[in-house]
Amino acid sequence: MSGPELVVFSLLGLAGVGSAVAVVSGKDLFRSTLFFGSFLLSVAGLYFTLEASFVGIMQIFVYVGGVVVMILFGIMLTQQEGARLNASLERRLTVAGPVALLAGILIAAIMTTSFKTVREVPGVDIATLGKLFTNDYVLPFEIVSVLLLAALVGAVVVAKEREK
Amino acid sequence: MSTSFYDLINVFVFTLVGTAFVGIVLFVSKLVRCKNPSPEKLAPYECGNKASGEARPQTQIRYYLFALLLVVFDVEMIFLFPWGVAFRSLGLIALVEVALFIGILLLGLAFAWRKGALKWQ
Amino acid sequence: MNVDFTAGSLLVPAAWGLGFVLFSALNVMFLVWMERKVSADIQSRWGPMVRGYHGSMQLLADMVKLLIKEDILPAAADKKMFALAPFLVFIPALLALLVLPIGPGLIARDMGVGLVYYLAVPSLASIGIFVAGWSSGNKYSTLGGMRSAAQLISYEIPRSLSVLGVVMLAGTLSMMGIVNAQKSLWFIIPQILGFLVYYIASIAEVGRTPFDLPEGESELVNGYFTEYSGMRFSFFMMGEYVALLVACLMGAVLFLGGWRGPFGLLPQLGPVWLLLKAYALVYVAMVVRWTLPRYRIDQLLEISWKVLLPISLINVALTAAIVFVGGEWLRGLLG
């Protein structure tokens, strides 16, 4: 990565980190969700600079177009008018502690794992992805649909319970 | 050759052009339009009545349920599009695998249907 | 990595972007005039007649009026979000044009993932709609915004599935590649089910009658843009009309052979064919709007999940069957 690519990559990284900070530091859930959306967009941009355009566009399709909207509906479901986040410091710290610990473990694991790295990112053909799904990775592929089924059934059951 | 990097640049530039267009038009409008606010004008519009109730009422779970359905099927789409692209060079076995994949999800849809989750009560 | 990044890398897309902005603005003016004329025709009226030939200058007058109209910022509104929403609604519609092939080799950016980009990006307007409704501080706006967003996301699934058949036949996600695959056979013929689902779902996603209940005025005043006025309001209208045009342009690209004339007639017309096809689709959408009554919200969502989704899955199965049975003959036809 060099020159303009590096510039764009760094800008996207900064935008991502900035949005992430805005998500957790904001007091308005609705705005936090929008910043979460802009964080996801920056990550999608990062995928594009890494030649993974399909992953990038799916990031937008599923996360920004789907998950963010879902969270917005979730807020509408749970928030009362004018409700703002004003948890006490102790409560914040009790949540922040375990989260920081988890993040630390994750970062340590990522830093110590030796990933296979390449100098030139190969542009992955989408057809190759399709072939891999149906040949080499057919079992994970089918398991994904079982997982989705579980999510769907769970959602329906929870929603129907609440209605009663 | 870095192609998707240029995809990104194009999207950036388009976004900038669009933002500039909306911004400039709104700015020009700001210069020429009149401004004469009164408390009545700035009140929430409710057909002449005084606004009652909350502006952001708590909503039912059905909206959330439909959003969740969307996410589940969006994820399904991620896997179907690469298969669609490769479809003509793949054989019958791949088709059966994908049919199984869709079939399992359809079970979920059928479940939601039977439980009345696709209904808007 | 070799990147030959020059000023042109920025200026060329900027020129395309500017071109598409002008294109959108002109077409929106024409579309609004056309809508008024079509509705007048259906209701046996004249429609605008005074300004210009058959009222063709009416829209210029309307533009000026909107420009100088007072902009009301409701006291209860979340000011920043209220100002942000028109951007969030208009820009996704414009961004979709990035992957629109308008002639042989003529495209702003032929992305490898073009089709999925087209499916993903315009639907981001749902967030803008949500923001508009939420920030207005009016319960009708909030409800309208939520209904709009719910409708948009419900129709996204059948719309995405309906074009899967096209992908299966063309074997690519590049919009240019999809047009090229229709050299001898427009996809509307093997994909008639897919086309119908795409068209219905697109009309619903743009929120037009019979699917316009987010702004059902008898229940929700004017939906999510109730509190908007003047120029800000007009950006919501513009976004809506651009989205309609984009949906029809893309429909022409995906199913009607794009810039190709029927039977290879007059290939030099190129972009004109594309516009003609898109406007034919727009015209049908307008006639539908002025002849059908509005659906109820429960009917609306049931149509998406219980009718369109199964049909689009049947279409995928049929496409697979056609390819396996058609074999060599079809392969030759698709090139």
Distance, in Å, from the CA atom of B102 to the CA atom of B75, rounded to the nearest integer, reads 12
Check residue C59 and give its pLDDT. Answer: 80
Among the partner residues B28, B32, B45, nearest to C138 by beta-carbon distance: B45
- What is the domain count for chain C? 1
- Give a yes or no: residue C306 inside a domain: yes
- Report yes or no for ipTM above 0.85: yes
Length of chain A: 164
CB pairs under 8 A between A and B: 166
Q: Which two tokens stand for residue C273?
A: 């064919």
Q: Is the pLDDT of residue B34 over 70?
A: yes
Q: Per the CATH hierarchy, to which homologous superfamily does domain B3-114 belong?
A: NADH:ubiquinone/plastoquinone oxidoreductase, chain 3 (1.20.58.1610)
> Angle, to 10 degrees, between the axis of helix C230-255 and the axis of helix C79-96?
20
Q: Is C13 on the interface with A (CB under 8 A)?
A: no
Check residue B121 and give its pLDDT. Answer: 62
Average pLDDT, integer, range C183-187: 84
Q: Confirm or reject CATH 1.10.10.60 for domain A3-124, answering yes or no.
A: no
Residue B62, min C-alpha distance to chain C (Å): 10
User: Which of A2, A70, A72 to probe the C interface (max C CBs under 10 A)?
Assistant: A72
Does residue C210 have a cis peptide bond before it, meaning omega lies within 30 degrees of 0? Answer: yes
Which residues are registered as beta bridge partners of C106?
A: C103
Check residue A44 and give its pLDDT. Answer: 93
Which residues are registered as beta bridge partners of C103?
A: C106
Q: Is C75 on the interface with A (CB under 8 A)?
A: no
Model confidence band, residue C331 (pLDDT cutoffs 50, 70, 90): low
- Boundaries of domain holding C88: 73-334
Specify the DSSP class assigned to residue C307: I
Distance, in Å, from the CA atom of C239 to the CA atom of C82, rounded to the nearest integer, reads 16
Residue C1, min C-alpha distance to chain A (Å): 6
pTM of the predicted structure, to 2 decimals: 0.89
Residue A101, min C-alpha distance to chain C (Å): 33
- Give a yes or no: residue C204 inside a domain: yes
Using a CB-CB distance cutoff of 8 angstroms, which residues of chain B are in contact with residue C21? 17-18, 21
Backbone angles phi and psi of C106, in degrees to 5: -100, 100
Residue A153, min C-alpha distance to chain C (Å): 16
Using a CB-CB distance cutoff of 8 angstroms, which residues of chain A are in contact with residue B72? 148, 151-152, 155
Tokens 């899967």 correspond to C164
Contacts with A70 (C-beta within 8 Å, 6 or more apart), sequence order: B64, B67, B68, B70, B71
Contacts with A7 (C-beta within 8 Å, 6 or more apart), sequence order: none
- Give a yes or no: residue C142 inside a domain: yes
Segment A40-96, tens digit of pLDDT = 999 999 998 888 888 899 999 999 988 998 888 888 877 665 555 666 777 778 888
Among the partner residues C1, C130, C173, nearest to A120 by beta-carbon distance: C1
Q: Is the pLDDT of residue C314 over 50?
A: yes
Using a CB-CB distance cutoff of 8 angstroms, which residues of chain C are in contact with residue A54? 112-113, 116
Amino acid at A85: L
Dihedral over Cα of A128, A55, C129, B73: its sign:
positive
Of the ranges A67-76, C75-84, C321-330, which is most confident?
A67-76
Contact state of C17 with B18 under an 8 Å Cβ cutoff: yes
